[in-house]
Structure 1
Amino acid sequence: MYLNVHSQYSLRYGTMSIETLVDEAIARGVTQMALTDINNSTGIMEFMRQCDKKGLKPIGGIEFRRQKKLLYIGLAQNREGMKELNDFLTEHNLSQTEIPDAAPTFQNAYIIYPFSFAGELKANEFLGIRFDEINKLYGKNLSAIKDKLVALQPVFVLDKVEYRLHEYLRGIDLNTVLTMVTCNDKCTPTDMFMPPGVLEAKYSRYAFILDNTRKLLDSCVMDYPKGRVNLNRQTFSGNKKDDRELLEKLAMKGLVYRYGKNNKQALAKVRHELKVIFELDFCAYFLITHDIIRYSMSQGYYHVGRGSGANSIVAYCLKITDVDPIELNLYFERFLNAQRTSPPDFDIDYSWDEREDVQDYIFKRYGRDHTALLGTMSTFKDRSIIREIGKVMGLPKAEIDGFTDATRAAFNRDNAVFKKITAIYERMANMPNQRSIHAGGVLISEDPITYYTALDLPPKGMPTVQWDMYEAEKIGFDKYDILSQRGIGHIKMAVKLIEENQEKKIDIHQVKKFMKDPVVNAQLRSGNTIGCFYIESPAMRQLIRKLNCDNYLILVAASSIIRPGVASSGMMGEYIKFHHAPDQVNYLHPVMEEQLKETYGVMVYQEDVIKICIHFAGMDGTDADILRRGMSGKYRSKKEFDRLVERFFEEAKKLGRPDNIVAEVWRQVSSFAGYSFSKAHSASFAVESYQSLFLKTYYPREFMVAVLNNYGGFYNRYLYVHELQRSGAIVHLPCVNNSDAIVNIHGVDVYLGFVGIHGLEATLMELIPDEQKANGPYQSLEDFIRRTNIGLEQAITLIRIGALRFTGKSKKALLWEVHLLLGTKVKPTNDTELFQLETKNYNLPVLLNTKLEDAYHEMELLGFPLSMTIFDLLETEYRGELLTNDLINHVGQTVKMVGRYVCEKTVHTKNNQKMWFGTFLDAEGNFFDTVHFPNRTPAYPFRGQGCYLMLGKVVEEFGFASIEVLKFAKLPILTNPVID
């Protein structure tokens, strides 16, 4: 009798999960029911799986609402009916129009209106009457509607306790306190499953209503295929035989391009992979990915193919990736094999400003009916739940802050209000909160995608499915990951700037040549990698120097061992130690030597962990694949991962492995959870790192300008300007006659762009250079004002940053002049003037600016000084006892150093105490690193940007010197002589 059931996917309304709904229905003797979540079909496929698993007949539907008002409920008679309902909701979501009061005519779906509906009913339409509305039938002639009445018993909550949870959810949704949630804002307390026979008893005087309801439900059949099926586009060319022939042709052509005509090893590997691809029916997947790459390359876009897909030599030959699987001894089975429990996918990165065009091509090439972006489902989590509950309870902000403060945990434990919040929190934790969009997943389906979901239109503006990657996989969809990153933007723009500024064309894809270049490798070994993709962070630069990393293969390993799993387990230190002394490796077990000799017995990659689980612990490939997914964090819960602990120990014991060795191997394995890379993924990162490094080595000025114009990387903007200056560039402040919106470069002269000026309006950033290029340089302040129609406040900003210095007048004189021009007058228009009248000139006293004033202006408007260095601004002339380059000669000594703050990283010790790692520049502009231990450091040691004086001990590890700080204080700077 339940044709209006809601799950948690009725966001911030329903309280039960799909699994709970099904279990509760079965417990009450229900044999069939309809899931009708509010304005979405997120849970329909999951609902059908659960029902099939537990013997309940599922019926799909959607409850259509406008704001709070229930309009009607749609029930699918079959698969086609579900598509009709999804199409209807999709149309309104994508066009962003309101759902109408009356439903359209559906061919394969029923519509149930609330009993208050006064319109004429169509053949497929019914009136739903609640049990508490039965009295409205008393004494009425029902002949006209007798066949149209059905029992409407909504289900939103499990019991009275969950009804209270429902009220809190409604308060969160409406952003109001609990007492302000009205009856119209929430369901009724009886909107739940009833004990067996109770609902039938409610309608006993009108048994025909129950008959109508049963007949309606009986006529609905969700005729979808059972189990996981492949719902992706089945062919690329329209014919599977043609697909096979085309893929083979493209692979063989690419084989010659990558390896020449006589490489027997590569040929054998390509043929082996093609056989597996054919057998597993993945031709279309490879061809569609190749088609996307072909399009993007035709547009001049640069891409990076990474992830496990880079294990495939066929992908390498198709130019999907640039990683040579033979060179790195990668094995294809990590990407695609018959034992995998999940579909493979390629990760394709584009520049941040090119990805949307690639996505647009996919939609147009494969059709909007068959293409959609992948969604995500965010959940209520941790402190955010406590804050939301506290607001609904009407608690003051200070009290809520106290409940989320980890340091007050002991005090809060006995607080009655906190106990109440905790009880609600425990029920709400991990419930779906809102639908969003996946970072880059795209689905391409064989059948129209609305058979399986309605579509949303997030701010990105492209149709998006209503479920996430986990559900997509279970339903039968493989995603295409079309991602973006800043690093590719750096490379793309740098190549363009080199061609424009130096008239040199760079083939950035000659990566193997870069890898053999001794100058590039020397740059890598020095750790001078600021701006370079994935290798610019302090931790990565330290690791590179400790490893004396000067080649691609070591960099591939470094790209993976920097990950938290390897680092926190202590294995990173072991790797570095044995890298310098490979003859001292003491392998835990012969299997470790056999499988991990390349990495000195250390598990560095996902593949290493899989190898150990199979060869050391005797686990099968399926469990190894589940473990791989666990290591990547690609599971909804840790149940699968935790189950493998017991399995690991059991199987290892059968093989006679010593208990203590098994325990240590498992410790190393488990430390990888959520933090490991596949070797191919690290290799892809290392390829991009080499491309960045080549550009930085030979064309540092253009490269750093590209980094700045693509919004930097790991560090603040000033550090990249500092790197520009170190490369020999003459960096100029923004200028209305020389600057563009973004940073530009001409020879060695670099002009900062208007984009970096705080408070400058976006329209002016483009208008000022466009007007200058169209009609020539600005001649004076008055000419600039007339041509740009700028207002007083914005003109003052440009004067203070020095952007009108071409006039030859001081800032103070210009400020006087701009107030005369704009201060008491209506802003001049840029209409054509019949006569141009000269402005009167006044004799002013000499108004000069000091460098110190200018530096303060720059710190305010750019975020850093350019006219002076931060060291020149210090009150003291003291620069420390020694500089970075001399640190290594004072190991073990206590020294004083002065450094400009670059960045910090906070970590927690095993005792949950805070410690810090800092990075600084000395007075010569060279980096040095610091360690701040808890017992020697104030509670909040860093005080933001500026210079610090530190007393510390020089320590050394693998030739890399740093400072263990004992005392630490920020140094004062000169006072601003003028307050504007």
Structure 2
Amino acid sequence: CIQTGKTIDDEKRLRFSANEFYFKSFAEMQQALPDYTDAITNTVQVAQLCQYEMEFGHYRYPVFHVPENISLNELLTKNAEAGLKTRLEQKEDEEGPLSEEVIREYEERLSFELKIIQDMGFAGYFLIVADFIEYARSSDIPVGPGRGSAAGSLTAFCLRITNIDPIKYGLIFERFLNPQRISMPDIDIDFCINGRDEVIHYVAEKYGRDNVCQIVTFGRMKARAVIRDVGRALNIPLKEVDHIAKLVPEGPNVSLERAIQEERELKRLEEGEGPAKKLLRISRGLEGLARHASTHASGLVISDRPLVEYLPLFKLSKGEIMTQFTMDQIEKLGLIKFDFLGLKTLTVIKYSLKLIQETSGTSVDIDRIPLNDEATYQLCSEGRTTGVFQLESSGMKELLRSLRPAVFEDIVALVALYRPGPLGSNMVNDFINGKHGKIKTKYLLPQLESILKETYGVILYQEQVMKIAQILASYTLAEADELRKAIGKKKQKVMARHKARFIEGAAKNNVDPKTAKRLFTLIDKFGGYGFNKSHSAAYAMIAYQTAYLKAHYPVQFMAALLTQDMGNQDKTIKNIAECREMGIEILPPDINESQA
């Protein structure tokens, strides 16, 4: 009834005509069909012939064709080294002549990363991602500067997969790819929302339509929703169902079991008589079951062979072909999934640049704008950030006015600070007061200054936790990444082992056990709030770019924003109000002037 939208009182609802819709045993079939014993026996033989063993334990990479007489590893090295040369030339243009020491640092880092990537067998993965990103760029489809931990890879930066210099911003490769833990790299890509499907089409054509497929995701019956669904099917009055559903606390992980234990009224209804008891009993049984299938927001699987050889597929109502297996199941099979995300802000930036070119004749290279622009930081410091990526909520505006960012690293920190953990602790106040010199930044040990100076003594980033473990306790960065994961997952047994390891390592660096314990407690407490600096830096770049456009080209930026948000009435009203606040006149549609 839930699936078909009917009620149990409906005589025409879908129902089984008998109670024998189940797989019968051999004996039951013999009794039902005594004259067909051979046929029944043959069905067993047919079933035994239909054996399929799923293979686990190795990856099934898409076939990336390389020129003759060159391997995937050699091509990756060649492309990455050429990319590094270009990146260093750009850096020299922006910052002046580079010392041999700086050049050597980049070369050694790239060599280190390439060895790990190649040893782990991931050269093809990087080449595939670089290829479809290059297609997007050449097709005038904007690509984000990075997302997640991939921004910590110099190789990705050299291949133009990302556009954040990991060395400049102190980002760590091992946070992205840990050589001690063999798992696929995970490079999520943001595309202009209008161009994402075109990139997916390119990938399908390149690797074969039968080898490329979007991934299913299942909407499940959660506590409140299942009560509403069951209530509708049982034909219980909406007002009564709504009352019962609202007794369930809101939240992502609230179960009916927990809600009934904690809410007296629900407990009373379950123990009483009447329709509410039946409603809750059935709802408990259905909670957590898949309610409907839909397309995963970003996941795409690309295989070396037709996907039907590895997993079942199906069609949604609109004809889209999906995997029947979820993302996790696909990864267990060794199939390679890629995340293609559509980001509206990239579309706004693209249209802003188009309007700037058309109205002023100025060509703005958004990837080469100065990161020390005073007008941009002034706009942010005054909280005039409606429409600015990541910085437009009222709480963020308040934080901007308090912090008054003056350098790009401040924007990076803001993205990391504006989360429940830091906001609920004293981290934000310590950061702001430290920045403005209201309190003197103190370090538990002198060695911590180089790690925590940029955040005024606050452990804000996961990468800082890793650096502390490396410098003070002689962890490798790969080991430090394991510590970072253990802190995030609150695994007490694992943390106990790390604590002993940390204190032992710190002792070798002349840190006494008492201080080492205090430091470990500190990183355990605040490291849990730590944010991925690679992701923060990448999204801070988009935030800065949109703030720059709003500061220098306000009319074009707001026009682009209004165009992109035209289907959302609330946002349109907000954007029009912002235009008026900025002194920008909003004209009515004009058949001769409007560019529709």
- In the aligned structure 2, how far is the partner of 1:279 from the partner of 1:356? 33
Contact 1:339 1:621 (C-alpha < 8 Å) held by counterparts = yes
Distance 1:600 1:181, change over 3 A: farther
- Report matched runs for 1:74-473 at 5 Å: 171-180=1-10, 185-186=15-16, 189=19, 208=38, 211-225=41-55, 227-237=56-66, 241-260=70-89, 263-304=103-144, 305-340=146-181, 342-406=183-247, 409-415=263-269, 416=272, 417-458=275-316, 462-473=320-331
- Report matched runs for 1:931-970 at 5 Å: none
Deviations 1:580-612 (A, max 9, x none): 349634557899778645434434234345667
Residue 492 of structure 2 is aligned to residue 645 of structure 1: yes
Distance 1:386 1:307, change over 3 A: same
- In the aligned structure 2, how far is the partner of 1:183 from the partner of 1:399? 23
Residue 378 of structure 2 is aligned to residue 522 of structure 1: yes
Distance 1:297 1:665, change over 3 A: closer
Contact 2:175 2:481 (C-alpha < 8 Å) held by counterparts = no
- In the aligned structure 2, how far is the partner of 1:699 from the partner of 1:493? 12
Distance 1:420 1:626, change over 3 A: farther
Question: How many aligned residue pairs are there?
Answer: 553
Contact 2:147 2:187 (C-alpha < 8 Å) held by counterparts = yes
Q: CA deviation at 1:496?
A: 0.7
Contact 1:322 1:687 (C-alpha < 8 Å) held by counterparts = no
Q: Which has the larger radius of gyration?
A: 1
Instruction: State the TM-score, normalizing by the size of structure 2.
Output: 0.82
**One-letter code of the match for 1:721?**
I
Contact 2:114 2:155 (C-alpha < 8 Å) held by counterparts = yes
Report the counterpart of residue 458 of structure 2 in structure 1: 602
**One-letter code of the match for 1:405?**
K
- In the aligned structure 2, how far is the partner of 1:224 from the partner of 1:264? 47
- Name the SS of the counterpart of 1:481 in structure 2: strand
- In the aligned structure 2, how far is the partner of 1:677 from the partner of 1:239? 44
Contact 1:341 1:626 (C-alpha < 8 Å) held by counterparts = no
- Report matched runs for 1:684-833 at 5 Å: 684-711=538-565, 716-741=571-596
**One-letter code of the match for 1:397?**
L
Deviations 1:643-682 (A, max 9, x none): x134324542674779898677545445x4xxx6421111
Which segment drifts farther, 565-574 or 313-322?
Answer: 565-574
**One-letter code of the match for 1:722?**
A
**One-letter code of the match for 2:42?**
N
- In the aligned structure 1, how far is the partner of 2:481 from the partner of 2:386? 38
Deviations 1:16-42 (A, max 9, x none): xxxxxxxxxxxxxxxxxxxxxxxxxxx
Q: CA deviation at 1:398?
A: 0.7
Distance 1:700 1:399, change over 3 A: same
Distance 1:272 1:624, change over 3 A: closer
- Name the SS of the counterpart of 2:3 in structure 1: helix
- In the aligned structure 2, how far is the partner of 1:662 from the partner of 1:313? 30
- In the aligned structure 2, how far is the partner of 1:414 from the partner of 1:685? 49
- In the aligned structure 2, how far is the partner of 1:283 from the partner of 1:325? 19
Report the counterpart of residue 577 of structure 1 in structure 2: 433
Q: CA deviation at 1:520?
A: 2.6
Distance 1:661 1:414, change over 3 A: farther
- Name the SS of the counterpart of 2:225 in structure 1: helix
Contact 2:460 2:526 (C-alpha < 8 Å) held by counterparts = no
Match for 1:480 among 330, 335, 338? 338
Q: CA deviation at 1:272?
A: 1.2
Distance 1:428 1:181, change over 3 A: farther
Distance 1:431 1:626, change over 3 A: farther
Q: CA deviation at 1:310?
A: 1.0
**One-letter code of the match for 2:575?**
Y
Contact 1:372 1:463 (C-alpha < 8 Å) held by counterparts = yes
**One-letter code of the match for 1:423?**
R
Which runs of no fewer than 5 residues in structure 1 stay unpaired? 1-170, 632-640, 742-980
- In the aligned structure 1, how far is the partner of 2:333 from the partner of 2:585? 58
- Name the SS of the counterpart of 1:446 in structure 2: coil
Contact 2:136 2:199 (C-alpha < 8 Å) held by counterparts = yes
Report the counterpart of residue 506 of structure 2 in structure 1: none
Distance 1:297 1:499, change over 3 A: same
Q: CA deviation at 1:547?
A: 1.5
**One-letter code of the match for 2:382?**
S
Q: CA deviation at 1:629?
A: 10
Distance 1:573 1:715, change over 3 A: farther
- In the aligned structure 1, how far is the partner of 2:154 from the partner of 2:561? 32
Q: CA deviation at 1:336?
A: 1.4
**One-letter code of the match for 2:547?**
L
Q: CA deviation at 1:626?
A: 9.7
- In the aligned structure 1, how far is the partner of 2:20 from the partner of 2:540? 60
Q: CA deviation at 1:450?
A: 1.3
- In the aligned structure 2, how far is the partner of 1:579 from the partner of 1:395? 59
- In the aligned structure 1, how far is the partner of 2:483 from the partner of 2:164? 25
Contact 1:618 1:652 (C-alpha < 8 Å) held by counterparts = no
Deviations 1:221-240 (A, max 9, x none): 31443x23201214342779
**One-letter code of the match for 2:172?**
Y
RMSD, aligned α-carbons: 3.7
- In the aligned structure 2, how far is the partner of 1:687 from the partner of 1:378? 33
**One-letter code of the match for 2:201?**
D
Instruction: State the TM-score, normalizing by the size of structure 1.
Output: 0.51
Which runs of no fewer than 5 residues in structure 2 stay unpaired? 90-97, 250-262, 504-512
Residue 376 of structure 2 is aligned to residue 536 of structure 1: no
**One-letter code of the match for 2:88?**
Y
- Name the SS of the counterpart of 2:586 in structure 1: strand
- In the aligned structure 1, how far is the partner of 2:280 from the partner of 2:476? 40
* Identity rate, percent: 29
**One-letter code of the match for 2:552?**
Y
Which segment drifts farther, 585-594 or 461-470?
Answer: 585-594
Report the counterpart of residue 509 of structure 2 in structure 1: none
Contact 1:617 1:651 (C-alpha < 8 Å) held by counterparts = no
- In the aligned structure 2, how far is the partner of 1:459 from the partner of 1:622? 47
Q: Which structure has greater helix proportion?
A: 2
Q: CA deviation at 1:191?
A: 5.5
Contact 1:412 1:418 (C-alpha < 8 Å) held by counterparts = no
Distance 1:609 1:737, change over 3 A: same
Q: CA deviation at 1:475?
A: 1.4
- In the aligned structure 2, how far is the partner of 1:521 from the partner of 1:533? 14
- In the aligned structure 1, how far is the partner of 2:122 from the partner of 2:321? 25
- Name the SS of the counterpart of 1:372 in structure 2: strand
Distance 1:616 1:430, change over 3 A: farther
Report the counterpart of residue 502 of structure 1 in structure 2: 360
Deviations 1:52-87 (A, max 9, x none): xxxxxxxxxxxxxxxxxxxxxxxxxxxxxxxxxxxx
- Name the SS of the counterpart of 1:442 in structure 2: strand
